[in-house]
Amino acid sequence: MEKDKEKNKTVQVSKERKKYIRKQKIRKIEILLTQIAIIITFIALWEILANTGKIDSFIMSQPSRIVKTFLNLTSNNLLEHLQITIIETLLGFSIGVILGFIIAIILWWSPFISKVSEPFLVVLNSLPKIALGPVIIIWVGAGMPAIITVRSVNFTNSNSFRIIKWIYDNR
pLDDT in tens, the chain (171 residues): 555 555 555 668 888 999 999 999 999 999 999 999 999 999 999 999 999 988 888 888 899 998 888 788 767 777 788 888 898 888 888 888 888 888 888 888 988 988 898 888 787 777 776 666 666 656 556 555 655 565 565 555 555 555 555 655 665
User: Rounded to an integer, what distance in angstroms lies between the CA atom of residue 40 and that of residue 8?
Assistant: 49
0.75 exceeded by pTM: no
**115-152: burial string, b at 16+ Cβ within 10 Å, e else:** eebeeebeeeeeeebeebbeebbeeeeeeeebbbbbbb
> CA 32, 40, 69: angle at the middle one, nearest 5?
125
Are 133 and 150 within 8 A, CB to CB? yes
pLDDT digits (tens, 9 = 90+) for 116-151: 988 887 877 777 766 666 666 565 565 556 555 655
Are 140 and 146 within 8 A, CB to CB? yes
Domain boundaries, the chain: 2-71, 78-169
